Amino acid sequence: MYTLTRNEFPKSDMVSWEDVIIKTCEEHKYNTLTALYDETTLPTFICFSEFYPGTISEVRDYVNQTYDVPTLHIYYSFGEKSVTYGRHQDPVEVLIVQSYGTITYELDIGTPYEVGEIETVTLEPGDSLRIHKGTWHNPIASNPRITLSFSK
């Protein structure tokens, strides 16, 4: 189960690469930076501390005017076919807001916690995707991107 909204957050593309790098450096300093990688793909980096420099803080506040979603994880990658967590489900509702580039999701549209028919959606900057708790989904990163993942 999911809800896709096109251009719900048009200002979400305000996240600058400079602020993503500043956040990355801070995360690295405190050993909270995570990277997903293998031998055949470029890495995806995940930042999840509560340090939000400049434009990241602005977009976080902007999204929170509509949704009360205090937890923010930032997923970013620099190239084609970057590795992701693959097909999984989350124990909480997740709001994905695309900030830079595109990301594609394969979503099971059966009942939560069960495998169903697959639908595919591609998010562009400003688009949002609410993925309901327990919904199987597979993010596919095929170009440089910044993806914001909000949850409670």
Give domain 2-151's CATH superfamily.
Cupin (2.60.120.650)
> pTM of the entire structure?
0.93
Whether 45 shows a pLDDT value over 80: the answer reads yes
pLDDT, tens digit, 9 for 90 and up, residues 76-124? 999 888 989 989 999 999 999 999 999 999 999 877 666 678 999 999 9
Buried b (16+ CB within 10 A) or exposed e, 115-138: eeeeeebebebbbbbbbbebbbbb
Predicted confidence (pLDDT) per residue in 5-44, tens digit: 999 999 888 899 999 999 999 999 999 999 999 888 889 9
* pLDDT at residue number 41: 84
For 148: left if phi > 0, alpha if psi spans -120 to 50, otherwise beta; the answer is beta
Q: d(Cα 88, Cα 127) in Å, to the nearest integer?
A: 21
Q: What letter does residue 87 receive in the DSSP assignment?
A: S
* Arithmetic mean of pLDDT, 1-7: 94
Q: What's the confidence (pLDDT) of residue 80? A: 82
Cα-based angle 42, 17, 79 (whole degrees, multiple of 5): 20
Rounded-to-integer distance, Cα 76 and Cα 62, Å: 20
Phi, psi at 8, each rounded to 5°: -70, -35
Q: What is the pLDDT of residue 137?
A: 95
Domain edges within the chain? 2-151
- Please tell me the distance from the alpha carbon of residue 147 to that of residue 58, in angstroms, as a whole number: 15
